[in-house]
Amino acid sequence: MKARVHVFLKEGVLDPQGKAVASALRTLGFEEVAAVRQGKFFDLETGPLPAGEAEARLQEYCRKLLANPVIENFRVEILEP
């Protein structure tokens, strides 16, 4: 299976990296930039998984390792079963 997982800060959680990027873009002359939020993503390849189970398994990866559930949300996406 090939899958992509996006992990991003929850709404309302301060994102200092994003703020720094927005401010750097404005300093470079891109004054139209209003806000930036930064997140990360993971492209995963796994061996075969039972059909109905892939999405649940990806969510387990997120809860156990990829995301910090206190401040982050995640979204999983199966690219190739």
Residues near 21 by Cβ (< 8 Å), separated by ≥ 6?
A: 36, 38
Distance (Å, rounded) from C-alpha 29 to C-alpha 68? 35
Using CB under 8 A, pick the residue from 46, 55, 69, 77 that binds a second copy: 46
Q: In DSSP terms, which residues pair with 80 in a beta bridge?
A: 2
Is the distance from CB of 61 to CB of 24 less than 8 angstroms? no
Residue 61 binds a second copy, judged by CB under 8 A = yes
Residue 6 binds a second copy, judged by CB under 8 A = yes
Residues near 10 by Cβ (< 8 Å), separated by ≥ 6?
A: 71, 72, 73
Q: Write down the least CB distance from residue 36 to a second copy, Å.
A: 5
Q: Write down the least CB distance from residue 70 to a second copy, Å.
A: 19
Which one, 50 or 70, has the nearer CB to a second copy? 50
Q: Which residues are at the interface with a second copy (CB under 8 A)?
A: 6, 8, 18, 21, 24-25, 28, 30, 32-49, 57, 60-61, 64-66
